[in-house]
C-alpha cells in the first residue's frame, strides 16, 4: 500500500508531469509592408496553444491558430499608424501554453514599413474636358476667334481665357493634366485659382497646383498679338 500509494502519486505526477515550460522558437520581431495583411507564424518547442496576454498594442492583433495577424485580419496604413505611440512599431505579448498549462510569454514587435503610394485623387472637376462639344466653357476674355471644334479648344491671336465654374478650395492641391496640341506662338496654361506653368510647345503636361481658391477652372492663352494655339483636353482633380 505504501509503495502503491507512492506509485499512485507518481502516476498522477506523470499525467500532469510536464513541468518544462515551452520555448518560443518564432521571432520576436518582424516587419510587414503597409496595406498588407500580417501572417506571423508562431512556433514553440512543443505543442502549445497561443493567446494574446498584453502589450501596448494588444487590441491591434488577433491570433488565428498559430498565426499572429492584425485585428480582423486587416491592414495598416503607414501614414496613419494606430499603435500606442504612433511610431509604426506594434507591440504585443503572446503566451504559449503547453498541454500541462506551463506558459511562456514573448513580446513581439511588428514594424510597418512604408510603401510609395500614388496620390489619391478626387473626382474629375472639369466638365467637357475633352472638348467633345461646344459647351460648358465660357470665354472670359478675348475675341470670337476662340472656338471649340474637332475636340479641341482653339485660340485666336489675343489674350484669351476659357473658364468654367467649379469650386476650387484655397490651399488645396489640384492635379492637372493639360494636353497642348498646337502652339504657333506664346503659351497656354491651366489655372485653378492659381495659374499653372505656361506651356510653349505641344505635349502632355501634368502639374500639381496649390490653389489660392475661387470658383473657376480656366485655360488661358498668353497675351499679345502673337499668342495662339490649341488644347486637346484638360483635367483637374483634387489631390486628397
Ligand atoms: Ca512543456
Ligand atoms: Ca498609406
Ligand atoms: Ca509603437
Ligand atoms: Ca506610404
Q: What is the pTM of this model?
A: 0.56
pLDDT digits (tens, 9 = 90+) for 119-145: 889 999 999 999 999 888 887 766 556
Cell triple for 213? 481658391
pLDDT digits (tens, 9 = 90+) for 174-222: 999 999 999 888 888 999 989 999 999 999 999 999 998 877 898 888 7
**Which residues lie closer than 8 Å to 91 by C-beta, 6 or more apart?**
55, 56, 57, 83, 84, 107, 108, 109
* Ligand lying closest to the C-alpha of residue 103: 1
For the chain, the average pLDDT equals 88
Q: Quick one: which of 170, 166, 157 has its CA closest to 224?
A: 157
Residues that place a CB less than 5 A from ion ligand 1: 18, 20, 98, 102
Sketch out the chain's domains with CATH numbers: 2-113 (2.60.40.10), 121-239 (2.60.120.260)
Spacing, Cα 130 to ligand 2 middle (Å): 32
The three-class DSSP label of residue 99 is coil
Please state, in angstroms and rounded to a whole number, the distance separating the CA atoms of residues 224 and 228: 9
Amino acid at each position: 500500500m505504501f509503495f502503491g500509494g507512492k506509485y499512485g502519486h507518481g502516476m498522477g505526477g506523470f499525467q500532469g508531469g510536464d513541468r518544462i515550460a515551452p520555448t518560443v522558437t518564432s521571432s520576436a520581431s518582424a516587419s510587414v509592408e503597409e496595406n498588407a495583411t500580417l501572417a506571423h507564424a508562431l512556433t514553440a518547442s512543443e505543442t502549445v496553444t497561443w493567446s494574446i496576454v498584453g502589450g501596448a498594442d494588444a487590441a491591434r492583433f488577433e491570433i488565428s491558430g498559430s498565426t499572429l495577424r492584425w485585428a480582423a485580419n486587416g491592414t495598416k496604413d503607414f501614414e496613419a499608424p494606430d499603435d500606442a505611440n504612433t511610431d509604426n512599431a506594434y507591440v504585443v505579448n503572446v503566451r504559449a501554453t503547453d498541454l500541462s498549462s506551463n506558459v511562456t510569454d514573448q513580446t513581439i514587435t511588428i514594424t510597418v514599413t512604408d510603401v510609395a503610394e500614388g496620390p489619391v485623387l478626387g473626382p474629375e472637376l472639369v466638365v467637357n474636358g475633352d472638348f467633345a462639344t461646344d459647351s460648358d466653357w465660357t470665354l472670359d476674355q478675348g475675341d470670337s476667334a476662340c472656338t471649340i471644334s474637332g475636340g479641341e479648344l482653339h485660340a485666336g491671336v489675343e489674350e484669351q481665357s476659357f473658364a468654367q465654374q467649379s469650386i476650387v478650395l484655397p490651399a488645396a492641391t489640384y492635379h492637372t493634366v493639360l494636353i497642348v496640341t498646337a502652339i504657333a506662338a506664346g503659351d497656354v496654361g491651366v489655372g485653378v485659382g492659381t495659374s499653372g506653368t505656361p506651356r510653349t510647345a505641344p505635349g502632355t503636361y501634368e502639374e500639381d497646383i496649390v490653389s489660392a481658391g475661387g470658383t473657376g477652372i480656366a485655360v488661358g492663352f498668353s497675351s499679345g498679338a502673337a499668342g495662339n494655339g490649341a488644347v486637346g483636353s484638360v483635367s483637374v482633380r483634387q489631390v486628397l
